[in-house]
Amino acid sequence: TTKVERMPNWLKKRAQLTPNRPAIEFDEKIYTFLELDLLAESTARKAAALGLQQGNTCAVLIRNDIRSVALIHGLFYLGVRIVMLNHRLTANELTWQVKDSQADQLIFDAVFSEKGKQVQRQLPLLKIASMEVVQQVPEDNQARIISEYVMDETATIMYTSGTTGNPKGVIQTFGNHWWSAIGSVLNLGLTEKDCWYCGVPIFHISGLSILMRNMIYGMKVVLAEKFSAIEANKMIQEKGITIISVVTTMLNRMIQDLGDEGYPASFRCMLLGGGPAPKYLLEECKAKQIPVYQTYGMTETASQIVTLSPEDSLEKLGSAGKALFPSQLRIEIDGHEAGPNEHGEIVVAGPNVTSGYLNQMEATEKAIKDGWLYTGDIGYLDSEGFLFVMDRRCDLLISGGENVYPAEIEAVISKHPAVFESGVTSIEDEKWGQVPIAFVVTNKNHVVTEEELLMYVKENLAPYKVPKYIFFCEELPRNAANKLMRRKLKELGSRS
């Protein structure tokens, strides 16, 4: 017989242990864990009245809002699997994910009504309801609230960002979320003063994992509807925020807004993940004594799997750290383990790692072998075992036999004062096989020529890494997760 691992319903347990502790602050109102439990239970009973029950799958099109948080917990209370949709996707893209996940219902925030209805037009059998309707429907008092969460059961289905191809539905179990939260706290620690600022979307793993830590740790979370650098800085300086999750563009804007000011000593962690962390940015933060911790993770690992630890954050600038306590990491080259400083594919394992992609046997078998997830990212471990993430394997280019990583070139170009952001890809070249080319968006009111920029790059990079051409453009192609899509740059490059 196999042992089924169960735990008490997490939010209910939390509301029982520490009912009066502040749980979520949203829109200047504070909700305690007891109040959050009541909201969640009420939402669960309303969702049940709409026909949702244990074993169903419900897709949600939500924004950061207290009602969305209550909906997520409420669906867990019913034993309903949640498909987390990114509201920046088009109706067609959403339709594909709703269909692929075989969702029984779609619940959407009123601001996304148009998209919700467009999805239903393409899937006439799909039941839909806006959050307003959910709020208005009378509660079903007969609905059964789940008293235990089963670790192996699917809690959420979350699609990858689709940076490298079509998004894949990642199965995330309660156990995956649990171990992700535990791995994080065993690294960062926890104090009774901790308060995590969530300015990242809760439909994405970066935000959802904060909601998990919220109830598992009993830690207060300040939820922002939209990220604003000014607001985030103010919250850290005046409202006792101790930890914030950011991606590079958010951090860039926060530093610009910060100017010569700093953060109070109580602010202990700027958790930076989601994409490459340019060295110049990390150095700037170090000079300003901002405690940046680089982290590496993905939808498939239910958020962080490798994070720099507090004691190494200054010494190992540029590194993403070591695998968290419950997890493992190795670098592979052609089926064997790489030595120190050798570049290869990052391969990870741990109880936070997904068991696979929904309805995608082939993709699952390709990505997960023997319980190890092949991430498709390239990196290396230094002699002390610290991970340095280079880039995605599919973006790597080989020029005259040398490996070239677009992220490294982008980091150098973006450091130029006239440059707002840059994207690098490759084109075929008769002599070298492939050569890098760059696309640049300049800062407002800054003028710079291709020659000037190339000169600058030549001073900072080996000749084979210098782009053959630099194109100026208004904006870079990004996906709904705001990630740079280099495959789109490639199309632009071949047309230019």
Q: Helix, strand or coil for residue 404?
A: strand
Question: What does 484 interact with, of Mg ion, ligand ATP, none (CB < 5 to 8 A by kind)?
Answer: none
Alpha-carbon distance 414 to 132, whole Å? Answer: 44
Task: Give residues 8-67 in contact with ligand ATP (rule: CB under 6 A).
Answer: none
Q: Shortest distance, CB of residue 345 to ligand ATP, whole angstroms?
A: 11
Residue holding tokens 């070239």? 404
Q: Shortest distance, CB of residue 480 to ligand ATP, whole angstroms?
A: 10
CA angle in degrees (0–180, nearest 5) for 171-190-347: 40
Binding footprint of ligand ATP, residue count (CB under 6 A): 24
Alpha helices in 307-466 (DSSP H): 361-367, 406-415, 450-460
Question: What does 483 interact with, of Mg ion, ligand ATP, none (CB < 5 to 8 A by kind)?
Answer: ligand ATP
Please tell me whether residue 303 binds ligand ATP under the rule CB under 6 A. no
Binding mask 259-298 for ligand ATP (x = CB under 6 A): --------------xxxxx----------------x-xxx
Identify which range of 134-142, 158-166, 196-204, 351-359 contacts Mg ion by CB under 5 A.
158-166
Question: What does 156 interact with, of Mg ion, ligand ATP, none (CB < 5 to 8 A by kind)?
Answer: none
Binding mask 306-335 for ligand ATP (x = CB under 6 A): --------------x---------------
- Cβ closer to ligand ATP: 144 or 369? 369
Q: Shortest distance, CB of residue 160 to ligand ATP, whole angstroms?
A: 3
DSSP assigned state of 386:
-
CA–chain centroid gap for 83, Å, is 15
Would strands 169-173 and 322-323 be described as parallel, antiparallel, or unpaired? unpaired
Alpha-carbon distance 164 to 286, whole Å? Answer: 32
Q: Shortest distance, CB of residue 363 to Mg ion, whole angstroms?
A: 11
Identify which range of 25-33, 61-69, 111-119, 156-164 contacts Mg ion by CB under 5 A.
156-164
Would strands 336-337 and 344-349 be described as parallel, antiparallel, or unpaired? unpaired
- Cβ closer to Mg ion: 200 or 223? 200
Cβ–Cβ < 8 Å for 145, 9: yes
Alpha-carbon distance 336 to 347, whole Å? Answer: 11
Alpha-carbon distance 31 to 39, whole Å? Answer: 10
Please tell me whether residue 64 binds Mg ion under the rule CB under 5 A. no
| Position among 375, 422, 425, 442 found at the interface with ligand ATP (CB under 6 A) | 375
Alpha-carbon distance 432 to 397, whole Å? Answer: 11
Question: What does 157 interact with, of Mg ion, ligand ATP, none (CB < 5 to 8 A by kind)?
Answer: none
From residue 251, how far is each of 73, 199, 227, 326 by CA, in Å? Answer: 30, 11, 11, 28
CA angle in degrees (0–180, nearest 5) for 49-51-57: 130
Point out which residues bind ligand ATP (CB under 6 A). 160-165, 167, 273-277, 294, 296-299, 320, 375, 377, 389, 392, 481, 483
